[in-house]
Every structure is written in structure tokens, then in C-alpha cells.
Amino acid sequence: MHNFKKVILFIVFTAISAPAFATTQNFNRWLSGIRQQAASQGISQNTINAALNGITPIQKVIDLDKKQPENKRSFAQYKEMIVNAQRINKGRQLIKDNAGALQDVENQFGVPKEFIVALWGIETNFGSNTGGFNVIPALATLAWEGRRAEFFTAELMNALKIIDAGHITVDRMKGSWAGAMGQNQFMPSSFNSYAIDGNGDGKRDIWGTKKDVFASTANYLKKNGWKTGQRWGRRVTLPRSFPENMITPKIQKPISYWASLGVKKLDGTALPQENMMASIVAPDGLGGEAYIVYNNYQTIMDWNRSTYFATSVGLLADSLSR
């Protein structure tokens, strides 16, 4: 009888632990393929071992990936949360505290300091909340899980290359659950395309060196089409008859076209007579605030495809410049 109980317990225990064991086995088999892929891309064995030895899938990352919430907030609520007095005051103070570094970067790239600081403020609350996940195991989890395997495998390879180049150590490479890193939340591919060594120490350190954060942000915007001396957009009023299907950053027309439809500045005066292409956005639809937006807004949308985000960056930058 005693032995029979043992067998039953063994069967029950095995049934509980088998999937977890199989999962780990499956991950380890997958990881050996990743090691070969990394080696074939010229990543050193030292980096491969330091980054990949002993890692396991992070269940919290899988959970967060599966339950990304649909955006239930209105733009009005989002704006109140993002472009608030506390962030504006802190941003103004940080512009003063980092005046020299920010001016150098503005002079070099032609991107106003207010936009650099606005992105810094919205992405990580000025570097105070950069995400607590180790980037390599987080990316490995997402690449292995398979929902967007190709994308995250490529990001994992990019992350290994960053470590291999000596810009950051494995333990300091922290970020969000989806692998966005440092004070400006670059994905590893964006880091390799746009990160800049702003202070000349040979490392592109977007985790701990502000000048590198500022220069990398400005370089991203510049390389994605930022036009120096142009504004991002402005608040407008739309006529009652304005067609709802024209409210999208995808439709770009000359300012004169929008003026002919009856779009006016918020104070009721005519739009500027400038030869610029523009779009109309109204993140909460016809009943909410409307904006006429220009080329630099499209560039901010290259950073993040959300009209909530891009409009808030513009509004925060305007508030910081006052």
C-alpha cells in the first residue's frame, strides 16, 4: 500500500512538473540555436556566455505581452496625466541644470532642447523610470515565445552586439519588458542606428550619461526628417461641416487647403500663409481638441506611432519653451 501511494504521488508530481520541465528543455534547445546565430553574426563567445548562460523565460514578460490593454483612456485624460504642471516645472528646471549640454546638442543637430527634454520626460520621467527588466532575458523570452519571433530575435541580436561593442555590461542593460532601453527607451535596433557618444568617452551610454541621451534623441529626430526652425503644429478650430475621414496624420495637404475648408487658429484668426504641408489630428475625434500638424509631428510619430503620444510631446515642448 505504501509503495502504491508512492507511485500515485510520483505520477501526480510528474504530471505537475512535466510541462515546466518540457518548457525549460524547449527553451534551452531554442537557446542553443540562438547561440549559433549570434556566433555566425560575429558576436564573441565571451559576450554570448556572459549574456545567455543560465537565463530562463520570464513569465511576467509573457503575461504582459499577452494582455497589452487596449487604450481605454481618452486623449483628454492622457494629456492631463502626461502634460501636467509637475512635469512642466521639472522639465524647465532640468533645461536650466543641463543648459550647456542641451545647447551643444541643439547646435549640432538643429533639434530644440525643449523637444529633447519633452521626450525624455514622457518616456522615462526624465530618466527616473527606465524599466526594471534585464533586457537580454526579456528579449529572449519574447523571441522564444514566438508571437513576434522574427522581430524580437533581431532585437536580441542587436542587444548582444551592443554588449559586444562595450557600450554597456549585461547587468546594466535594463529596460522595459519589451526591451526598450535607457533614459530614452531605444529598442536595440534604434540604438545601433541612432545612439550617439555625446561626451566623447567612446561609449554610447543611454542609461547613465545625459549627454549621450540628449545627443541620441536629437540624432534620431534629425535622421528621421526633423526640419530645423519649423513648429510641430498648433491647436485649431474645425468648422461643423468638417469631414471626419480627413482627421488623420496620413492625409497631408498644403495649409491653404485646410484654410479653404474653414480651419482656423484657436482664436478664430486665419491660418498662417506658409507653404507647408499639414495634417489635421483630433485624438478624441470631432468632439475633442483638434490640431494642425506639420512635418516635425510626422517625425515624432516615427518615434511612436500614437497621436496621443506625438501631440503630447508637442504640447509639453511648447510648455517648456514658455
- Give per-residue pLDDT as tens, 200-230: 999 999 999 999 999 999 999 999 999 999 9
Q: What is the mean pLDDT of residues 47-62?
A: 96
**What dotted CATH number matches 75-130+210-223?**
1.10.530.10
| C-alpha 25, offset from chain centre | 33
Is the confidence at residue 11, as pLDDT, over 90? Answer: no
pLDDT of residue 147: 85
Give the dihedral sign, CA 80/85/91/92.
Answer: positive
Residue 321 CB neighbours (<10 A)? 14
CATH 1.10.530.10 fits 233-321, yes or no: yes
What does pLDDT average to over the chain?
92
* pLDDT tens-digit readout, 173-201: 999 999 999 999 999 999 999 999 999 99
Question: How does residue 44 score in pLDDT terms, banded at 50, 70 and 90?
Answer: very high
- Write the DSSP assignment of 200-250 as a string of letters: SSS---TTT-HHHHHHHHHHHHHHTT--TT---EEEEE--TT--GGGBEEE
* Domain ranges across the chain: 18-67+131-194, 75-130+210-223, 233-321
pLDDT of 232: 98
The Cα–Cα gap between 284 and 312 comes to: 13
Tens of pLDDT, residue by residue over 116-135, are 999 999 999 999 999 999 99
User: What is the per-residue pLDDT across 276-322, written as a single tens digit (0 to 9) for each?
Assistant: 999 999 999 999 999 999 999 999 999 999 999 999 999 999 999 98
Sequence letter at residue 214: F
Residue 186's SS3 state is: strand
pLDDT digits (tens, 9 = 90+) for 16-42: 433 455 577 799 999 999 999 999 999
Lowest mean pLDDT of 11-15, 110-114, 142-146, 151-155, name the range: 11-15
**What is the pLDDT at residue 22?**
54
Which residues touch 195 (CB under 8 Å, ≥6 apart)?
A: 167, 186, 204, 206, 212, 216, 219
Q: Do domains 18-67+131-194 and 75-130+210-223 have the same CATH topology?
A: no
| pLDDT tens digits, 227-284 | 999 999 999 999 999 999 999 999 999 999 999 999 999 999 999 998 999 999 999 9
Q: Which CATH number fits domain 18-67+131-194: 3.50.50.60, 1.10.8.350, 1.10.1740.10, 1.10.150.120?
A: 1.10.8.350
The better pLDDT of the pair 12, 290 is held by 290
Place of cell 556566455: 49
Instruction: Enumerate the β-bridge partners of residue 293.
Output: 233, 279
Tell me if 76 sits within 8 A of 284, measured CB to CB. yes
pLDDT one-digit tens code per residue, 60-77: 999 999 887 666 899 999
Is residue 294 within 8 A of residue 230, CB to CB? The reply is: yes
**Residue 110 pLDDT:** 98
Q: How does strand 290-293 pair with strand 277-281? A: antiparallel
Question: Closest Cα partner for 278 from 300, 310, 256, 307?
Answer: 256
Burial class (CB in 10 A: 0-12, 13-18, 19+), 198: buried
